[in-house]
Chain A
Amino acid sequence: MAQEELDKAVSGEYALGFEIDIEEDKVPPGLNEEVIRFISKKKEEPEWMTELRLKAYHKWLEMEEPHWGHLEYEPIDYQSISYYAAPKKGPESLDEVDPKILEAYNKLGIPLEEQKQLAGVKVAVDAVVDSVSVKTTYQEELKQHGIIFCSISEAIRDYPELVKKYMFSVVPMNDNYFAALNSAVFTDGTFVYIPKGVRCPMELSTYFRINALNTGQFERTLIVADEGSYVSYNEGCSAPMRDENQLHAAVVELIAMKDAEIKYSTIQNWYPGDEEGKGGIYNFVTKRGLCEGENSKISWTQVETGSAITWKYPSCVLKGDNSVGEFYSVAVTTLAQQADTGTKMIHLGKNTSSTIISKGISAMKGQNTYRGLVKIGANAEGARNYSECDSLLIGDQCGAHTFPYLESKDAHGQVEHEATTTKISDEQLFYLRQRGITEEDAVSMIVHGFCKEVFSQLPMEYAVEAKALLNLTLEGSVG
């Protein structure tokens, strides 16, 4: 196959690049105290929240944008972004949701009608378009179990004590530049609370969609799993194809109490821009989980195929003794995408353990960086980490980089890191093709094999989606 055709194939087609034609309520671009007060007022927030937002804004003003990532991009003009956009019709029930949004979500494969279940499995969905949550399904059924699943705006109004206690407790508002910005201007997101001893009976899911022009999306997610509870949560996202870059700066905080487990899966498919690097989402995300109690567990699984720039490090602070942190990641960079992603595992408690499996795939002009920190504190007796970071390169214009930081202070701990960088070998391809498999299928087979360990961590219906997405992104990639 000629290189040109290959590149065409490898770039896939961004199938979710359509735009929803709905009326938007949008503030003019720019950021100042007025805008923050406006957002807070729109959300009907109590005074304390407004104050916290302003405090975060002032901290942000004093901070500098970080540039240590292995990323190159045009400077972001924070004053040219609109910080609030919402579909004009506020929904009260499903009947009142703008049919255009319903249609759009159907197009995305996310049904908002409760009777239409995703792949036959019950999944509760919180749908967020631009700055607001438009619909949360199955709320009633979840309530019977004592589970709170709602938009973060609702949570601020209805569960102020929980929000005050946990928001900013894992990711402080001045944790980093983008987290501070998010703390000031976050518009929506999801709040989940699982009470003691409850196993959440269905998958919870939030679907984020950037629709409006010139807007940023700044959602904030907070999940609290009380003692002995379990929840599996998934997020997906997409955006229309646009020539300019759009900023997405989210914050996710997870808290797992004693014996609790949170499984957090992401399929990130923001618009990646074109092969010249024009357009696409700048994705600067802070995700962190705190294993507060003994025997707690937080597991991050991510499949990152979209965005022009990805800067994200879903992390675990392993505070409780015997707590477990996991990070499974597939990151694909093709076209002119750049990703600097990885994790941090901070071992504080005794006998804590963490596993990192990272698979980076680079094609065309993609630059893929794994950056991870494993830190074993002096009191983390018997802590264990295993990391495996593998890179697969397709084509000779791309790059794959591995930057692990491994710090151990404990003589009874064990840190192991392994990394390899390979390309799809001609022998492998030939072998498969000799058996009658097309080149495209052979590549796909090899890539899927490469990612298998990570996909197996995803809930079944999402694994199917992830595989399809990977195929689409990498169609026929080797010559």
Chain B
Amino acid sequence: MSRVVMDIDNLHARIGGKEILKGLNLQLEEGKVHAIMGPNGAGKSTLSKAITGHYDIEVLDGEIRYKGQNIVDWEPEDRALEGIFLSFQNPVEVPGVNNAYFLRTAVNAKRKHQGLPELNAAEFLREMKKLVQELGMKPEMISRSLNEGFSGGEKKRNEILQMMMLQPDVIILDEIDSGLDIDALRAVSEGINKMKDGKRSFLVITHYSRILDYIEPDYIHVLKDGKIIKTAGPELVAELEEKGYGAIEEA
């Protein structure tokens, strides 16, 4: 077994007074792709919110140990600077904030955190333009307002663009395939696969197995009623497709 980069231990969390995660245990291994699957309402998105420190979440009990530290009380930006990246299911639109300016601020915040010199506008834009092209995004995306008026596919590509610029260590992909046509899905998963380097870990949250044809998982975890009820290899996908979530019983 590889080194554990994130260890979620007995996590209880609630949103708006309702307990959603009820003692969740999960270990993410370095360099591995973990897929979280489960029926609607199982707590998949809540898990991503708990890891990133979303304002809706109240952690009642348990720990999220990341690189050896319990991060449940950390500010969201501190988690990000330490390498946790969430690709949002529905990225929010931020009118008036220039996409390039936003991303440069984020990249430079991270560089500063790592003790690296900041990128100037030209260096940064050169890099950004290259990736924009690679992802098949329209060049005007660079200067438009952050996510404003982007189509579903454009938003997801923009998430991947940010991921590639920020070079995170743990990448959470929340329903990355929702609302994507086949071309966009291919471009997005190519981007993701390029990020695989044997060190970086992925947590792919999905309701359907479609995305797993593009991003090969090492582990499948089934999340049901706020707990991981089964962990297995990729062969579980076929079983789930055939029998559905109802057939999976707590191990």
Query: Are A and B in direct contact (Cβ within 8 Å)?
Result: no
- Residues of A at under 8 Å CB distance from B? none
Residues of B within 8 A of A (CB): none
